Amino acid sequence: MENFTSGHIPSEDGKQLIHALQKELGGREIGGGTIEFHAGVSYRNILVWRGKSDASPLAGTKTQPPHDVQGQPVADHLPVGPGREMLCELMELSKPILANHPATAARAAAGKLPATQIWLWGQGKAPQVQSFEEVYGKRGAIISAVDLVRGVGALLGWHRIEVPGITGYLDTNYANKGKYAIEALGAFDLVCVHVEAPDEASHEGKADEKVKALEQIDMHIVGPLLEALPRYGEYRILIEPDHRTTLLTKAHAHGAVPFAVCGDGIPQSGQRSYDEVTAENGPMRFDPGCDLMRWFLG
């Protein structure tokens, strides 16, 4: 797999390709149900399978995240299990549709990476969860350009704040994220600002871009929020990654992640660094990680 994002294909190009897939394959009966393609943001899109029963043809099937297999043979990372044939068939059917689309030809002519096929992974049913307000008694809002994160926010009952110029990539508008987060402080008990850029830089193995992204987050989001929060009385702020993504492997990794918290009722911990080693060996560990939110809200 050369590049799992097709060169970070713009949403406009991606939408054209997804619409073409829906036109050619949408409504196709497969695995006892029918399929639908829905456009998302950039290279992140979704396939919906609608069956006539609760039984899923993908039960017991394991798929591989594409961002974990860059530079590796695709054949070594195809789905395994009962749904392998179904998913592999759809991925093969997508190849000629994308190859013959004008948007693909235009990208190639411009020297950009073309989208050569879909990669299906991350299957699951829409979950039913208690709202964040029911569990914690707090009203929340989410700022993110990533559909997965926005979807989690919707499941939690959080308000999704639309911010112009955010992309889920290195060119996102950091300043607007900070500005809109500050404007939301008076309306919600908790505002979550998600920034995908450091993760994307890691997937591309770009240490310099990762540093730049962290500096932009500090300058345009964390700094302004720290200045604004005292105006609202007692406050706390939590900064943390949602997982590890190493520059060495360009892939996600398991293990504890660091977090930093300050505000009312938070004593100094004496830690001198913010990194995975400190997270692994430091005095404060939360297992399961969801316990961190209950502690943070105090």
What span, in angstroms and rounded, lies between the C-alpha atoms of 150 and 146? 6
On whether both 224 and 190 belong to a single domain, the answer is: yes
**Confidence category of residue 283, pLDDT binned at 50, 70, 90:** confident
Whether 83 and 226 share a structural domain: no
Burial of residue 2 (CB within 10 Å: 0-12, 13-18, 19+) is exposed
* Domain count of the fold of the chain: 2
- Assign 55 a pLDDT band (cuts: 50, 70, 90): confident
Residue 284 has pLDDT above 90, yes or no: no
Q: What is the CATH number of the domain that holds 277?
A: 3.40.720.10
Answer yes or no: do 209 and 260 share one domain.
Answer: yes
User: Is 126 inside any structural domain?
Assistant: no
List pLDDT tens digits, range 157-180. Answer: 999 999 999 999 999 999 999 999
Task: Name the residue range of residue 179's domain.
Answer: 132-297
d(CA 69, CA 198): 18
Within-domain flag for 75? yes
Same domain, residue pair 101 and 238 = no
In a domain, 37, yes or no: yes
Say yes or no: 35 and 138 in one domain: no
Strand partners, 221: none
What's the pLDDT at 272?
86
Q: Are residues 183 and 243 in the same domain?
A: yes
Q: What pLDDT, on a 0 to 100 scale, did the predictor assign at position 39?
A: 95
Letter for the amino acid at 64? Answer: Q
pLDDT exceeds 80 at position 54: no
Looking at the structure, tell me whether residues 75 and 150 fall in a common domain.
no
In a domain, residue 166? The reply is yes
Amino acid sitting at position 187 = A
Q: Tell whether 141 and 215 lie within a shared domain.
A: yes
Is there a single domain that holds both residue 60 and residue 150? no
> Which pLDDT score, from 0 to 100, does residue 178 have?
98
Last residue of a domain, one of 42, 77, 109: 109
